[in-house]
Every structure is written in structure tokens, then in C-alpha cells.
């Protein structure tokens, strides 16, 4: 989908200034989205850290329920990361398109120079909830395995 633009000749004002101001607004909005994304990540990290701390104090059958809740929270976290990624991707596509009407295109130039040398933040962000999912899975398996061992061989599990 192409950005709909009014032709310069049909615009009843300072076209370049209007494009620049709209570009600045889009940049501010993109930064706002990034800030909200960071805040959401901080909330999810805090929530998961607190939940996992509670789980480690009681590695019994209650931890299965709490770990299942933790996994659900992590899945929600991953969906949130994906949602913010899509939102920012569209925002930067529009910014890049607007730059074609400006004398300089700093964001386009930056991405061209980075080429494939950049590890996307989304990949790094998703690593954290996946690590929590692994920890929660271990917290689910531990009491189950210990219960089976105690059932099979009461002398070890007792």
C-alpha cells in the first residue's frame, strides 16, 4: 500500500514544511511506541521474576499451576512483542516513504548502511520470555518427576 500524498502543486501552503512537520510527528510517535514497548517488557520481566521467585520456594504440585500461569504470561508477552514490532514496522515504512520528499533520508541511509549486520531487537526481546518458559517447564517437570520417583521407589523419594 502506497502512502497517499497530495501533490505539491495542489497543496495550498508550504509543502516542504508540512512534510517535515508530519515526518517529525511520525518520528515522535515511533519513539512513543518504542517507549511503550520497553515499559511492557519491564512489566513482563518484573511479573515473571516475582512469579518465578514464588515458585522456587515451593517446588511441589502448587508450582505446576503457578508455572502454567507463567507460561501463559510469557505467551502473552511474545504476542505483545510481535504486536509492537508490526506497529513500529509500519510506522517506519511510512517514515521512510515520507523521507523521499525530504532533502535527506537519514533513516533510509542508516538501514542501508547496516545492511544485514544488525541483530533485530525483537529476536533479543523474545529470548527472555522463552528462557522463562524453559524455567517454568522445568518447574512443572520437577515435582512430577520427584513424585514418580517417590512412588516407584519410596526409599529415595521419602
Residue 42 lies in a domain: yes
**Whole-number mean pLDDT of the chain?**
87
Q: Dihedrals φ, ψ of 102, to 5°?
A: -105, 160
Domain assignment present for residue 81? The answer is yes
- What is the extent of the structural domain holding 138? 14-103+120-157
Angstrom distance (rounded) from CA 55 to CA 135:
10
Low-confidence ranges of the chain (pLDDT < 70): 1-5, 116, 156-158
pLDDT tens sequence across 110-147:
878 887 677 778 888 999 999 999 999 999 998 888 88
Q: How many domains does the chain have?
A: 1
Angstrom CA distances, 128 to 11, 40, 52, 66, stand at 48, 13, 13, 18
Element (H, E) at 30: helix 15-57
Burial environment of residue 124 by CB neighbours within 10 A (0 to 12, 13 to 18, 19 or more): exposed
Give domain status of residue 20, yes or no: yes
Does residue 153 sit within a domain? yes
Amino acid at each position: 500500500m502506497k502512502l497517499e500524498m497530495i501533490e505539491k502543486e495542489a497543496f495550498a501552503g508550504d509543502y516542504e514544511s508540512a512534510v517535515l512537520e508530519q515526518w517529525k510527528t511520525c518520528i515522535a510517535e515511533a519513539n512513543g511506541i518504542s517507549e511503550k514497548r520497553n515499559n511492557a517488557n519491564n512489566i513482563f520481566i518484573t511479573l515473571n521474576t516475582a512469579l518465578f521467585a514464588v515458585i522456587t520456594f515451593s517446588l511441589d504440585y502448587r508450582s505446576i499451576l503457578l508455572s502454567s500461569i507463567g507460561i501463559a504470561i510469557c505467551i502473552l508477552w511474545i504476542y505483545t512483542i510481535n504486536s509492537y514490532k508490526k506497529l513500529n514496522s509500519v510506522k517506519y515504512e511510512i517514515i521512510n516513504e515520507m523521507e523521499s520528499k525530504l532533502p535527506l533520508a537519514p533513516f533510509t541511509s542508516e538501514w542501508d548502511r547496516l545492511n544485514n549486520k544488525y541483530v533485530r531487537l525483537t529476536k533479543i526481546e523474545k529470548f527472555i520470555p522463552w528462557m522463562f518458559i524453559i524455567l517454568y517447564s522445568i518447574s512443572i517437570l520437577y515435582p512430577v518427576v520427584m513424585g514418580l520417583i517417590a512412588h516407584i521407589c519410596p526409599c529415595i523419594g521419602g
